Amino acid sequence: MALLLLLSGCANSASTKNSSAETNEKADAQPKQGGELTYALATSPDSLDPHRSGLAVAGRVFRTIFDNLVIQAEDGTIQPWLATEWTVSEDGKSYIFQLREDVKFHDGTPFNAEAVKFSFDRIIDPKTKSGNALSLLRPYVSSEVLEEYTIKINLATPSAAFLSNISQNQLGIVSPTAVEKYGDQFGKNPVGTGPFKFVNWTENADIQVEKNSDYNWGPSNVENKGKPYLDKISFKIVPEEATRIGSVQSGQVLAAETVPPQNIATLKNDPKTQLLTVNTIGLPYTLFFNQRKEPWNNVKARQAVQLAIDVDSIVKTLYLGTYERSWSPLTPGIVGYDKSLEGSVKVDIDKANKILDELGYEKGSDGIRVKDGKQLTLNYVDGSPNREKRNDIAVIVQQQLKRIGIKVEINITKDVASVIYTNADYDLYGNSQVNSDPNALRAIYHTRTPEEEAVFKGLPGGSDTELDQLLEQGTSELDQAKREEIYKKAQQKIIKDAWIIPIYVFPYTVAASKTVNGITFDALGYPLFNDVSIE
């Protein structure tokens, strides 16, 4: 017997209040039609093919051009979009989706089960060279078109993350005719069913999309389910921070993403601009120990570092109160986030010193600890450029660990791929990941197979049978409450055994002119433009 999960119509309009944005004063007034929104992006998308690009910046554009089968609301529930309802088989290995019958692609191609099958089969086709989309779609095996608007999707193993994953912008449904027409160049000529149609992409200048007047199938996380109010959006590519903020202040663009912390205060006081902030979800910015190395394979050594790093003061000093400190391997807002971890780790220098004493490290004349003639050093690797002041975190950690006699050597490199993932030549390394499901933990914290290690060394290289079991159960547990419990246990275990030092939750910030109303964000923190109007 099939388990009926969700029916259409249970739209939850409250879910759009995701952002801590200043509320628009004229929310009640009828939004004004027309106009062009200019929106400055911090980097350039590599491709507008959702199945081939894994860049967050491309994701911000995908939400205008492509729709998904389902959408994830802020509370983590999965709600209808291009699929009106769905059922899951008892073994959790097949899904049957009923699709909307009134949808067509921008090029006139009808949207149906064939198009969904085409999109998903395209992702698993090695010729597509799909990266992130492929890992999100797994364990997908195949699709069967049951009727024109009914599709059955088969998975290799049950996956509790599947619905959440297919709501992510990289699994947007693409037009089969357009893919056949443009082939390899689909990423420069994207065609979907979204609220905006792709018009033009001038490399390093702008990406233009225009209103899809036929649009009538907006998801539950936007108010305006019909055609957008805006005529056009022009995404300008402005990599230089100061220029980007300057362009909003001078009025050359109406909105700009990724505001640096030092500009946030100024912009808040600027009568002409408003500031929108939303915390992204997934894995926070986290420092990972390399457990392949001595002494970091020893939980005691890791705990000493955990007790000596004052994360609060790092986050306050560098981000001036604009970033939230993180406590868990997951960010708040994700399914199963364990709030009880907040405040659980306290700085304790004496205890940290005592642990290192017990481990046999004695302070030398220069204050650095020595054991068997070797200094206790920690090779801290971080990427370049200094994204979100991550390199500055390294410098503060260096100062803080000096207090307990650990010498930190900072290595800032552009070539993280070979230093970290090929050679694993680090003791501590920082990274973050945007993701919609706690299953993201599995890729990082599950014991790696020798085959995986042979190709690249994952983070953080530890192994724990109990944690492995939790992460496996989490993947296949379909009962939401039980699943949350499993992930809470996993988070507690990771923090208790000091696998990592979580640092901050990355907020996506947008500075916009006060004349712009209605920019909202999806569950992952990607902007939505369905409700945007310009006064």
Partner 1 sequence: MTLVNKVLLKISTAFVSIIGSSILVFSIIYLLPGDPVLSMIDPSVATPEMVANLRKELGLDQPFYIQFSEYFMNVLQGDFGQSVVNSEPVLPKIVEHFPATLALTITSAVLSVVIGVTFGVLSAIYRNKWIDIIARIIGLFGISMPTFWSGILLILIFSVYLNWLPSIGSDGWKTLVLPSLSLGFVGAGFIIRMVRNSMLDVINEQFIVTLRAKGLSERVVMYRHALRNALIPAITIIGLNIGELLAGTVVIETVFSRQGIGRIVADAIMAKDLPVIQGVVFFSAIVYVVINLLVDLSYSFIDPRVRRAH
The phi and psi torsions of 312 (rounded to 5 degrees) equal -55, -50
Is the Cβ of residue 46 or residue 362 nearer to partner 1 in the bound state? 46
H-assigned helices in 381-502: 390-402, 416, 440-445, 450-455, 465-476, 480-496
Is the Cβ of residue 102 or residue 203 nearer to partner 1 in the bound state? 203
Is the Cβ of residue 43 or residue 87 nearer to partner 1 in the bound state? 43
Pairing, β 94-99 against β 150-155: antiparallel
Among 23, 126, 343, 373, binds partner 1 (CB under 8 A): 126
Exposed / middle / buried, residue 476 (Cβ in 10 Å: 0-12, 13-18, 19+): middle
Cα(512)–Cα(254) distance, rounded to whole angstroms? 6
Radius of gyration of the chain (CA): 24
Decide if residue 500 touches partner 1 (CB under 8 A): no
Q: Which stretch binds partner 1 (CB under 8 A): 68-76, 90-98, 238-246, 465-473?
A: 238-246
Query: Among 60, 94, 74, 67, which Cα is nearest to 12's?
Result: 74
Is the Cβ of residue 264 or residue 404 nearer to partner 1 in the bound state? 264
Among 84, 94, 132, 331, binds partner 1 (CB under 8 A): 132
Is the Cβ of residue 238 or residue 467 nearer to partner 1 in the bound state? 238
247-266: contacts with partner 1 (CB under 8 A): 247, 249-253
Is the Cβ of residue 1 or residue 454 nearer to partner 1 in the bound state? 454
CB 64 within 8 Å of CB 106: no
Is the Cβ of residue 358 or residue 452 nearer to partner 1 in the bound state? 452
CB of 131 to partner 1, least distance (A): 4
Query: Among 242, 186, 289, 227, which Cα is nearest to 64's?
Result: 227
Give me the 309-328 binding string for partner 1, x by CB under 8 A, dash otherwise.
--------------------
187-206: contacts with partner 1 (CB under 8 A): 187-188, 202-205
Cα(483)–Cα(338) distance, rounded to whole angstroms? 12
Among 27, 417, 480, 535, binds partner 1 (CB under 8 A): 417
Is the Cβ of residue 216 or residue 386 nearer to partner 1 in the bound state? 386
CA-based torsion, 458, 462, 465, 466: positive or negative:
negative
CB of 187 to partner 1, least distance (A): 5
Is the Cβ of residue 150 or residue 252 nearer to partner 1 in the bound state? 252
CB of 273 to partner 1, least distance (A): 12
The number of residues that bind partner 1 (CB under 8 A) is 53
Cα(488)–Cα(335) distance, rounded to whole angstroms? 10
Cα(23)–Cα(283) distance, rounded to whole angstroms? 28
CB of 451 to partner 1, least distance (A): 5
Q: Which amino acid is at 354?
A: K
**Helix 311-319 vs helix 390-402: crossing angle, to nearest 10:** 140
Cα(104)–Cα(387) distance, rounded to whole angstroms? 40
Residue 224 tokens read as: 């305006």
For tokens 């969904």, name the residue. Answer: 116
13-52: contacts with partner 1 (CB under 8 A): 40, 44, 46-47, 49, 52
Q: List residues binding partner 1 (CB under 8 A).
A: 40, 44, 46-47, 49, 52, 54, 126, 129, 131-132, 134-136, 184-185, 187-188, 202-205, 236-240, 242-243, 246-247, 249-253, 415, 417-418, 420-422, 431, 433, 443-444, 451-452, 454-456, 458-459
